[in-house]
Amino acid sequence: MELSTADSVDEALDELSRRGERCRVLAGGTDVMIQLARREIAPEHLLHVERLGELRAVETDGSTRLGALVTHRDLAVGRLGPGYAAVAESAATVGGLQTQVVGTIGGNVCNASPAADTLPALLVHDAEVTLRSVRGSRTVPLAEFVVGRRVTTRAPDELLTTITLGRPAPRTGDVYLKVGRRSAMEVAIVGLAARLTFDGTGVVTDARIAVASVGPRPLRSVGAETALVGGTGDAESVHAAAKALLQDVDPIDDVRGTADYRRRVIPGLLGRAVRVCAQRAEG
């Protein structure tokens, strides 16, 4: 296996254009190196992109944009600023401190794990990803970019460069909650992100609900969102939302938990998320 290091985005795109499917992009390596050790992947070439400082930028003027090499630790300490608590909380649960310091948001997205902590938080903030190649660039909603377990729509010659998030409206609260066998360094049994916007009377005017580790990919539940809009986060609307959410998920039995257990914890997790969002929306 060969290894090369790109010193600019253009250099990285040239390498990807020449090598295509034979090449694997390497940044922090928290996923790629494990997959190599387990022989789950066997690329002919690794392209190291950690030196691309332009992909570490965070911009918050107008829309919120973060480079693909922004680390989980950057996000966990609140580099995105107010309004993105779910993103910070999800990043803070990705492995331990060493993983967070080197692991990147772009790598987490492109790895497309069904249990990825950051993906539900990005989904509730209407994330879009920008991909570049020597052919040009394109922007894709995250919900369309991740299509299955470790499967995305990224072409072999493309590099994910930027993630753009929607700006939350006033009176909005968001949260990421995770069920695991311990609070840190554990893959989620269930991960749930929520973002709710309220009017001045406490009625939900907009809702975003996304989950991970309960299907082949993290996903948003339009049915749960619809059930919450127009209510006040009361027990009746939460119950209806949980029922709709359970219809959207397809959990499996694995070493971390059973499908039945995952289904059982979702209603309580959703109810807790709604309460936290309401509290945070009040300021």
Contact 65, 163 (CB under 8 A): yes
Which of 19, 28, 26, 52 is CA-nearest to residue 41? 26
Query: In the prediction, which pLDDT does 183 show?
Result: 53
- List the chain residues with pLDDT less than 50: none
Cross-strand partners of 282 = none
CA distance 191 to 220: 12
Query: In the prediction, which pLDDT does 182 show?
Result: 63
pTM above 0.85, yes or no: yes
CATH homologous superfamily of domain 172-281? Answer: CO dehydrogenase flavoprotein, C-terminal domain (3.30.390.50)
Contact 174, 155 (CB under 8 A): no
Which of 109, 97, 94, 174 is CA-nearest to residue 141? 109
Give the HSE-up count for residue 275: Cα atoms under 13 Å, Cβ half-sphere.
8
Query: In the prediction, which pLDDT does 78 show?
Result: 93
- Residue 60 phi/psi, 5° resolution? -125, 20
Contact 165, 125 (CB under 8 A): yes
Query: In the prediction, which pLDDT does 200 show?
Result: 93
Helix segments in 43-102, DSSP class H: 72-76, 85-91, 97-102
pLDDT tens sequence across 143-188: 999 999 999 999 999 999 999 999 999 999 999 999 987 655 578 9
